[in-house]
Chains A and B, each alone.
Chain A
Amino acid sequence: MSSNTYDVAGQRNQTILLVRRIIAYTVLIVLTILSLFPFIILIINSTRSHYDIMQGFSLIPGTTFGQNLTNVLKNEQLPIFRGMLNSFIVAGGSALLSVYFSTFTAYGIHVYDFRLKKFAFTFIMIIMMVPTQVSALGFIKLMRSFNMLDTFWPLVIPSIAAPAVFFFMKQYMESSLPLEIVEAARIDGCNEFRIFNEIILPIMKPAIAVQAIFTFVTGWNNYFTPALILSKKNMKTLPILIAELRSADFLKFDMGQVYFLIMLSILPVIVVYLCLSKFIIRGVTLGSVKG
């Protein structure tokens, strides 16, 4: 008798669990479709001609992928490949500088005891919350007086002071950089700068890789500051070119080209993301809990 009621209760639990699973999978599948649908439209439409796209949407890819590519290459109004190169220089340069110097700064605060250490740390934590847009006005005026408008310097050099990357590196050092290593190296007669470059950097590699990816992606996607600094056609980065695509008379555009251009600007990031997704997602939890 008692075992019977137990069975009934167990069965009920099983049914509830099954129902919950079905609901969970349904919601997940709907969200997956929602997340992927825009990109599916993007990829399909980038293979279709303007005429086909105007006829309405279809799930069958078109045949004008090559044609769209040559059209994009020939379009002198929007030098997209030049834009990709520019974006690559800006994103790569700022990723390199920000991971190197953030590790550098974090090392200084982590390893040494100096009078302003606490102040320096608190100061960096405070400025982490200041939005970049707030100082943009003074920034452009300053860059104009430095004659740096329409160069990449204003987009790359400021990455040396990246508070969020610094904080990540500091956290990582606290969990996986024992001070004994530094002391051992000192006994071996290394100077501090060499210790950092030859011993600390290799230990920090995993953290550096995660942050390099994140800062590269941020730089690649950045729109606000580059749009204020770069105005010459062959200096523009991808987001600025996309904004121009939007401000040109949209309906007169070859839609095949429009989709193709958007695809080119997000494809590199998608490829990198899919290759390193596990790595990136693990990095999110660690990197995003700021404060």
Chain B
Amino acid sequence: MASPLSRRKSISYSKWGYFFIAPFFIVYAIFSLFPLLSTFYNSLFENYMNGLNQVGPTFVGLKNFQTVLNAESDMMRYILNTFIIWIVGFIPQIFFSLLLASWFTDIRLKLKATGFFKVVIYLPNVIMAAAISMLFFAIFSNIGPINSMLVNAGILSEPYKFFDHEGSTRLIIAGINFLLWYGNTTIMLMAAIMGVDPSLYESADIDGANPTQQFWKITIPLIRPLLLYTFVTSLIGGLQMFDIPNIITNKQGSPNRTSMTMVMYLNNHLFSKNYGMGGAVSVVLFVVGAVLSILVFYTMRDKDAPKKSIKKKKGANLL
């Protein structure tokens, strides 16, 4: 008697699952999935504005991809730009994050005011990238405070035009990326380091290992999955780099398009209504992103077992 009743009950409950996931999937299908497929579809057409005249849409097959992916195309240049700016910001980011995370978690170092430092280094991460970019543009402009200080101190005889040079422009963009993200990475790495069994450090102490040895021989190998994860997610984030260079260079990627990123290129096509090329650039971005995501998936799978228990414990005593 009881069993058919309860079975019927469980069947009727399971239907509720669809009710609860329905809004997500309906909204996703309309506002993301359909646009995604339509973007792919558009990449197969020639469709742009020539002055006030609409050209196309005419089906051209993979012609847009030939234009985008040939070795001397603009896209290849912008992929390289994006990668250079990303790596210049990422190297100091991972260096300082590791350093700070290992200091903050070092029991023997017993740093004071770590709460304060954490608040300060994480602060830039919550601030609007557009506003920080504008601020840095004002600070480094020819008439800005940095130039006035350098000239007043006698280091420069006349203002240095930071945004007329390829190196300094890229460096400033990379610097903002660093400033925005190193606090976030530090806090992530701290969580990983705190998950390492403290008895390992204690026995290393007894064996006479110094902090540098402990860092390279214990900390680094044990947090490697999270390091890899940080690397790949940062790379995916770098791929989407847009706000900062777009505002710093006023959409131009100046000087001479050396700080034009992939998404800025896409954005320019969207504004000029060149939907064929825009579609092709989107597809390339999608593929690169997908490859990197698969990498994330494999790095996450490796660390799944040890990480889960840590996270659960954290979740339970959070808040």
What residues make up the interface of A, taking CB atoms closer than 8 Å to B?
Answer: 16-17, 20-21, 24-25, 27-28, 31-32, 34-36, 38, 41-42, 45, 54, 56-57, 101-102, 104-105, 107-109, 111-114, 116-117, 120, 124, 126-127, 129-142, 154, 157-158, 160-161, 166, 171-172, 174-176, 192-193, 196, 206, 210, 217, 220-221, 223-224, 227-228, 238-239, 242-243, 245-247, 250-251, 255, 258-259, 262, 265-266, 269-270, 273-274, 277-286, 288-291
Cβ–Cβ < 8 Å partners of B226 in chain A: 289
The docked-state distance in angstroms from the alpha carbon of A25 to that of B130 is 31
Q: Does B169 contact A (CB under 8 A)?
A: no
A134-B36, A228-B270 given; name 4 further pairs at CB < 8 Å: A221-B128, A228-B267, A246-B137, A289-B191
Closest to B125 in A: A284
Interface flag for B131 (CB, 8 Å): yes
Contacts of A105 in B (CB 8 A): 20-21, 23-24
On whether the beta carbons of B24 and A130 are closer than 8 Å, the reply is: no
Known: A117-B17, A127-B32, A221-B129. A28 touches B117 (CB 8 A): yes
- B14→A113 contact, CB < 8 A: yes
List of A residues within 8 angstroms of B247 by Cβ: 242-243, 246
Within B116-145, which residues are at the interface with A (CB < 8 Å)? Answer: 117-124, 126-139, 141, 143, 145
- Measured in the bound complex, the distance between the Cα atoms of B99 and A24 in whole Å is 9
Residue among A109, A157, A265, A281 making CB contact with B128, cutoff 8 Å: A265
Inside 8 A of A142's CB, which chain B residues have their CB? 30-31, 34-35, 38
Main secondary structure of the interface of A (DSSP, over half): helix
Provide 8 A-B residue pairs closer than 8 Å at the C-beta atoms, listed in order of the A residue: A38-B139, A157-B31, A175-B315, A196-B20, A238-B130, A247-B250, A273-B126, A286-B314
In contact, B19 and A250 (Cβ under 8 angstroms): no
Tally of contact residues, B, Cβ under 8 A: 108
Q: Is the CB of A140 within 8 A of B270?
A: yes
In the complex, what distance in Å separates the CA atom of A154 from the CA atom of B263? Answer: 20
Most-contacted residue by chain A among B24, B38, B141, B242 (CB, 10 A): B24
- In the complex the two chains form, what is the Cα distance from A109 to B27 in whole Å? 17
Is the Cβ of B13 less than 8 Å from the Cβ of A270? Answer: no
Cβ proximity bits B1-24 to A, threshold 8 Å, 1 near / 0 not = 000000000100111111111011
In the complex, are the beta carbons of A134 and B39 less than 8 A apart? yes
Whether A31 and B243, one on each chain, are in contact in the complex, defined by CB atoms closer than 8 angstroms, is no
Q: With A104-B20, A108-B16, A161-B24 as given contacts, are A221 and B188 in contact (CB-CB < 8 Å)? A: no
Contact B319 A161, beta carbon cutoff 8 Å: no
Complex Cα gap A16–B211 (Å):
10
Interface contact B32-A120, CB-CB below 8 Å: no
**Chain B residues with CB under 8 A of A262:** 131, 134-135, 138
Q: Does B111 contact A277, Cβ atoms closer than 8 Å?
A: no
State whether the Cβ of B44 lies closer than 8 Å to any Cβ in chain A.
no
Task: Find A114's partner among B18, B36, B136, B138 (CB 8 Å cutoff).
Answer: B18
Contact B149 A114 (CB under 8 A): no
Chain B positions within 8 Å of A116 at CB level: 18
Q: Name the residue on B nearest A104 (C-beta).
A: B20
Q: Is the Cβ of B109 less than 8 Å from the Cβ of A24?
A: yes
Most A CB atoms within 10 A — which of B35, B145, B184? B35
| CB of B240 within 8 Å of the partner chain | yes
